[in-house]
């Protein structure tokens, strides 16, 4: 799909300088890079928003007396359970997925 955009002088000048720098060979490359970065930023923001939701839900549970005391043993058990689930091919949410399986 081909699009024609009117970006205005400030953005057009920026794109021109990026091309002149040799970092990009066309305006399309500059725009694609900007869009890719924006998409990555949005994905990261979605991840942060999800973590905030989990934290808020946990805070509410603690206020209701539903919390689980944090201990190093509890954390070790949680990590081992996540690793075991990942090795067994079970779905492990990205927020808790161990990096080394």
What per-residue confidence (pLDDT) applies to 68?
Answer: 80
Q: Is the dihedral of CA 46, 47, 49, 54 positive or negative?
A: positive
What per-residue confidence (pLDDT) applies to 98?
Answer: 61
Cα-to-chain-centroid distance, residue 36: 13
What per-residue confidence (pLDDT) applies to 100?
Answer: 54
What per-residue confidence (pLDDT) applies to 18?
Answer: 97
Q: Which residues contact 86 (CB under 8 A, 6 or more apart)?
A: 92, 97, 98, 101
**Which pLDDT tens digits describe the chain residue by residue (101 residues)?**
888 889 999 999 999 999 999 999 999 999 999 999 999 999 999 999 999 999 999 999 989 988 888 888 988 888 888 888 888 988 877 766 666 54
What per-residue confidence (pLDDT) applies to 55?
Answer: 93
């Amino acid at each position: 799909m081909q699009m024609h955009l009117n970006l205005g002088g400030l953005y057009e000048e920026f794109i021109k300088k990026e091309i002149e720098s040799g970092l990009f060979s066309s305006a399309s490359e500059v725009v694609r890079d900007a869009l890719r970065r924006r998409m990555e930023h949005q994905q990261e923001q979605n991840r942060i928003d999800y973590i905030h939701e989990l934290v808020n839900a946990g805070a509410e549970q603690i206020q209701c007396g539903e919390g689980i005391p944090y201990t190093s043993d509890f954390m070790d058990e949680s990590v081992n359970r996540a690793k075991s689930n990942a090795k067994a091919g079970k779905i492990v949410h990205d927020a808790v997925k161990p990096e080394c399986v």
